[in-house]
Amino acid sequence: MKGILDRDTVGAFCRHTHAELAGAASGPLAGLTFGVKDIYDIVGRKTGFGSPDWLATHDAATATAPAVQRLLDAGARMVGKTHTDELTYSLNGENAHYGTPVNVNAPGRIPGGSSSGSAAAVAAALVDFALGSDTGGSVRAPASFCGIHGMRPTHGRILLAGVCPLAASFDAAGWFARDVALIERVGRVLLGDDLPAPQPSHWLLAQDAFALASDAATKTLQPALGRLTALLGKPQPVTVADAGLPQWFQVFRTLQGAEVWAQHGEWVTRVKPDLGPGVRERVQWASTVTANDVAPARSQREDIARRMDELLADGAVLVLPTLPGIAPLRNTPPAELD
């Protein structure tokens, strides 16, 4: 049987950091295959982080990331490492150094990122499921663009030891599959069964989020909204952000940028990596974020968290579009995508 690199017709898997690991002989995921975003450490191998300069300036890992090990211990077989946007600092899926994985469900359009290879591999049925990460949408966006399911759990629920960080207070592990049943099956391994499953009682329709969505995106969501109505009754329309969602986004962008520079600024300054379009400008902007920018953003973040707790009390489910539109065309200028 051909290996994954021979069968990979969509450019989802990394050749420069390729690794395969057998899973346990038995377990809840026995017989399944998975790919791993190239930010998770594999013992004895380098982690590429989507950057040739990162690869050249870092040593091989001394241990396998616990999240990967849990999947192996559950019987799943790792077949390879998947491409990521450079430093995971993009939602587009286009890497200037390693190319853009093909979105098989929309070949002329981007797969989304930064977990681009993982989403593309699952969409192309090269693996049963794949591990990614999500800081500001890096599982949710490619799942949406590639027409598959993606899960970003609560921040901190999955240990991120042995994982290249972007912005630690937002980083979360996540995963992809082509059906919801497998999303849950993998989740039981990664999250455990120690918490009772929440029972939703009603759902909220985020009017201000839907107002930002294109007609095409809104139309695509109508069948799902109909199924929710059948399950939970008519929604309660709500305005999520009284000050406007763009203001919430700016809070996130500021705090993320500050954390990116705190984490990687020394390496960027010392190595002067050849960063690709879009990522280069984001990193440069991150270097300009000051303490005076961060202080009010942190305060506003606390207000945002309180608002979300208020909305999601009493078994509520908040429903909003993952993204404002369908997948953009490949080679769209980065400035337009931002």
Annotated active-site positions, please? Answer: 37, 114, 138
If you count them, how many residues does the chain have? Answer: 338
Q: Can you tell me which residue has the tokens 């962008």?
A: 253
| Neighbouring C-beta atoms of residue 223, cutoff 10 Å | 9
**Which has the closest alpha carbon to 35: 155, 115, 136, 134?**
115
Output phi, psi for 190, to 5 deg.
Answer: -75, -35
**DSSP H helices in the chain:** 4-7, 52-56, 66-73, 116-123, 140-146, 180-191, 207-211, 215-232, 245-271, 279-286, 291-311, 334-337
Q: What is the 3-state secondary structure (H, E, C) of 187-237?
A: HHHHHCCCCCCCCCCEEEEEHHHHHCCCHHHHHHHHHHHHHHHHHHCCCEE
Neighbours of 204 (CB within 10 A): 17
Tokens 């300036």, located at residue: 57
Place of tokens 């990193």: 283
C-alpha 104/C-alpha 48 separation (Å) is 24
